[in-house]
Amino acid sequence: MNAEPRLVEVRKNVLKQNDVTARALRGRFRDAGVLAVSLVSSPGSGKTAFLEKTLTLLYSRYRVAALVGDLATENDAARLARSQVPVKQIVTGTVCHLDAAMVQHALEGWDLNTLDILFIENVGNLVCPSSYDLGEDLRLVLLSVTEGEDKPLKYPTIFNSADVAVITKIDLAAAVEFDEAAAKRNIQAVRPGMEVFKTSAKTGEGMAEYLEFIERRRVHSRAAAAV
């Protein structure tokens, strides 16, 4: 057979099974006309605050819901529940990423036909989430101004697995002397042509542009579903 270490072989099989599950999920989202959007970032980059703002702003016009992954706590779900939308926490225990089976399991009992947009917040981690397709239509990678402009260069794989980059906490940009041009240059070096949004969940700056993009993508995926 082959000389690959057994662990590598097992890991490959796990990833293959994940792709099968992710493909099934993607089909279900498409059939139900749901735009599935996932969020990945380091811990502390403001994912949950960004998601809470997103849900609050979309709530009056769309049927939105969220799944949130976390290692140990349900704090994020409690916080997101303030936005009034259905939220389910996925507590992963020792697993530092979400996989498609966790998403599938969390969706049990939810009628996807009653949703327009589903957000999936991954566990804060810029490494292994890049390997796991969750069946999402759109993956956002978040980068906060407090993290340093070289994050894209350090974690190119996650930036490559994402569709769009979102710079968060721009209200703090001046205080931390964030070099926006350098950050954008690094994103483009890793992923040429990648669309970048600048946002502040605190002041709301940039949220309108980003939400317009999400809405355009939803129209696009609805049109594809109707074909």
The 8-class DSSP code of residue 127 comes to: S
Query: Among Mg ion, Zn ion, none, what binds residue 53 when CB lies within 5 to 8 Å by partner kind?
Result: none
Least distance from Mg ion to the Cβ atom of residue 208, Å: 23
Kindly tell me which residue out of 128, 153, 172, 225 binds Zn ion, with binding defined by CB under 5 A.
128
Sheet (strand 64-70) strand order: 87-91, 64-70, 117-121, 35-40, 138-144, 164-168, 195-198
Q: Which of residues 106-165 bind Mg ion (CB under 5 A)?
A: none
Q: Does 76 bind Mg ion (CB under 5 A)?
A: yes
**Which CB sits closer to Mg ion, 118 or 190?**
118
Alpha helical stretches, state H, 40-161: 47-58, 75-80, 100-106, 151-154, 156-161
x/- site string to Mg ion, residues 28 to 47, per CB under 5 A?
-------------------x
Least distance from Zn ion to the Cβ atom of residue 14, Å: 11
Is residue 87 a contact partner of residue 80, using CB atoms and an 8 Å limit? yes
Identify which of 118, 183, 130, 136 has the alpha carbon closest to the alpha carbon of residue 25: 136
Kindly tell me which residue out of 38, 48, 83, 122 binds Mg ion, with binding defined by CB under 5 A.
48
Tokens of residue 26, six digits: 């993607």
Tokens of residue 205, six digits: 């700056």
Is residue 31 a contact partner of residue 137, using CB atoms and an 8 Å limit? no
Which range in 24-32, 89-97, 136-144, 163-171 contacts Zn ion by CB under 5 A? 89-97
Which range in 11-19, 71-79, 96-104, 170-178 contacts Mg ion by CB under 5 A? 71-79
Is residue 66 a contact partner of residue 36, using CB atoms and an 8 Å limit? no
Kindly tell me which residue out of 48, 70, 80, 97 binds Zn ion, with binding defined by CB under 5 A.
97
**Which CB sits closer to Zn ion, 32 or 128?**
128
Q: Which of residues 99-118 bind Zn ion (CB under 5 A)?
A: none
In angstroms, the Cα distances linking 84 to 32, 37, 100, 142 are 22, 19, 25, 24
Is residue 17 a contact partner of residue 119, using CB atoms and an 8 Å limit? no
Query: Among Zn ion, Mg ion, none, what binds residue 76 when CB lies within 5 to 8 Å by partner kind?
Result: Mg ion
Tokens of residue 149, six digits: 């402009």
Task: Please tell me the distance from the alpha carbon of residue 133 to that of residue 15, in angstroms, as a whole number.
Answer: 9
**Which CB sits closer to Mg ion, 76 or 137?**
76
**How many residues form the binding site for Zn ion (CB under 5 A)?**
3
**Which positions lie near Mg ion, rule CB under 5 A?**
47-48, 76
**Which positions lie near Zn ion, rule CB under 5 A?**
96-97, 128
